[in-house]
Every structure is written in structure tokens, then in C-alpha cells.
Amino acid sequence: MIWTANEGPLSEFIYYHHEMVLIKEYPKKVILFCEIPPPEGGETPFVPSFRVTERMIEEFPEEVKEMEEKGLKYSFSAPSNSDRTSMRGRGWEDAFGTSDPKEAELRAKGLGMDVEWLPNGGLKTILGPRNLTKVFEGRKGRRMWFNTIVGMHGKEISSATMADGTEIPEHVVKRCGEIIEEESIQFKWEKGDVLFLDNYALLHGRRPSLPPRRVLVATTK
């Protein structure tokens, strides 16, 4: 299947992530194709995930050990309907492909999520425990920073804590974000470019840009 990459406002940064990192089945490869390059900005930055792990262990050995041992828990609140003008993005009806709350619950549970219904008709999904890092076969035993704590910690619509509810220290999250940025490599799009990303090994994101920008994406297991 091929679709357009995240359709959130081009003026906003889509934070670094491994594709579908929050669910229990995630693609091995992400393939991006540039149909319309932006006139300015819009690069796809990517980061060797193992480098983040190495540097976090160097700077925060005790905190990394605690997060590894306890695991992580995430929550995310989605409105009923999608809002393309906001990074809140997809509503739960779009995300789960149904307007039936009971069916949405079943589909969420099938992805390893617990759910809570909000008074405004929105849906809060809760995921955990999840690993902080992962080691994948064929990648030299490197520990990948396979989480999204920086992208979800302390946000208006999302949270990231340790699985037992212990808060992740703010200074650890802040420094992790700095390390990710320091290790990032920028890919500037030209029309017709194709970019293959190893989703097990690379975090990726999207820089803000001027319109138009159209990048298509496909994933493979």
C-alpha cells in the first residue's frame, strides 16, 4: 500500500520516530518517494538509533537502567474526527477505520492498546509496558533507541512515563532530544528522489516547509 506521508500542517515539525513504534507489529522498511519537492525546507532528517542509546547510556546510565527495567507507558488522546489543520491530526474514527466505539475498542486491543472514552467523545489510548531499546537480528547486536519518549513526554495530548507510573525526569528527556538532533542527518528532497529507510535502525522525521510538498510512503515487513 502507498499513501501520502503524514498530512499534518507543513509548518510544523514531525518529531523523530520509528514507524509504528507504539504497536507490536512494525515495518522493517520505510520507502519514501518525492512527487513534489517543497520550495523551502521539508527535509527528512534521520538518526542512527544506536547512537542515541550509546550516548544516553554514557550520560544517564542509572536512568537508562531504570527505564529498561521498568519499561515505558504511553498515552495519547485523539478527537472523534480528524483535524488536518492541527498536529492532533487523525481522529480515532479515521485511525481505526470505524465510527462504532465498540469496534474501535476491539481494534485498539488488537494492537495492544487499552482505551478510555473522554467526555467530549474523544478516545484516550494507553500502551504499555513497552521497551526502551531493542536489539534486532542482523544489526551487529546494537541496541536501538526504540521508543518515543521525547515526542510524547509532557505534551498536551500525550504522555510518556515508566510503566509503573514513575515520571521520566524532565532534564533526561530534554537532553535526549538534544542528542537526537545532534546525531541527525538531513535529506533534502528533489523531484523523483526515493529514500529507503531501515525502520529498525533509523529514527526519522519531517522538517517544516513551505507548500507544496508531496511525499509518498510505503512500508514493508
**Integer angstrom CA distances of residue 38 from 7, 73, 188:** 14, 36, 9
pTM: 0.93
The residue with cell 495530548 is 157
Dist CA 114 CA 109 (whole Å): 6
- Residue-wise pLDDT tens digits, 32-52: 999 999 999 999 999 999 999
pLDDT bin (cut points 50, 70, 90) of residue 84 is low
For residue 28, the 8-state DSSP code is: S
Burial degree of 193 (CB within 10 A; 0-12, 13-18, 19+): middle
Query: Is the pLDDT confidence value at 2 over 60?
Result: no
Grid coordinates belonging to 115: 482505551
Per the structure, the count of domains in the chain is 1
Q: Would you state the pLDDT for residue 6?
A: 66
User: Which domain does 147 fall in, by range?
Assistant: 2-220
Give Cα 20 to chain centroid, integer Å.
Answer: 7
Q: What element of type H or E holds 52?
A: helix 49-59
CATH code, domain with 165: 3.60.130.10
For residue 38, the 8-state DSSP code is: -
pLDDT bin (cut points 50, 70, 90) of residue 81 is confident
Dist CA 45 CA 200 (whole Å): 16
Query: Is the pLDDT confidence value at 88 over 90?
Result: no
Query: Is the pLDDT confidence value at 153 over 90?
Result: yes
Dist CA 56 CA 133 (whole Å): 11
- Residue-wise pLDDT tens digits, 89-142: 679 999 899 999 999 999 999 989 999 999 999 999 999 999 999 999 999 999
Nearest to 221 by CA among 10, 29, 8: 29
Q: Would you state the pLDDT for residue 47?
A: 98
